[in-house]
Amino acid sequence: MVASTLKLYKETLIDTGAALLRGPFVWLMLLLMPVVVLVMATVLSPLGMIGGFAVGFAVVYFYGAYLYAVGQSVQRKTPLGIGIVKESMGEHIWDVMSVAFLHWIVTMAFQFAGLPGMVSTLFGLVALILFNPWPEVIHTDRVGGSMDILVRSFRFMQVNGPEWIAPHLLLLAVGGGVVMVPGDLQPAMALGAGVILHPVMVFRCVLFRKLGTESRRSRTWKSRF
Residues 130 and 14: their CA atoms lie apart, in Å, by: 27
pLDDT given at position 181: 43
Per-residue model confidence (pLDDT) at position 33: 86
pTM of the model: 0.84
Could you tell me if 178 and 49 are in contact, meaning their C-beta atoms sit under 8 angstroms apart? no
Domain count for the chain: 1
Domain extent for 140 = 2-222
pLDDT at position 169:
86
Q: Please tell me the predicted confidence (pLDDT) of residue 175.
A: 55
Q: Which of these, 200, 186, 173, lies nearest to 103 by C-alpha position?
A: 186
Compute mean pLDDT per 10 residues along the chain, 225 residues long, and list them. Answer: 82 94 90 86 87 89 94 92 92 91 84 75 86 92 83 92 89 55 47 73 94 68 53
Number of H helices, E strands in the chain: 11, 0
| C-alpha span between 162 and 140 (Å, rounded) | 20
Report the Cα 210 to chain-centroid distance in Å.
16
Residue (of 2, 16, 4, 69) closest to 208 by Cα position: 16
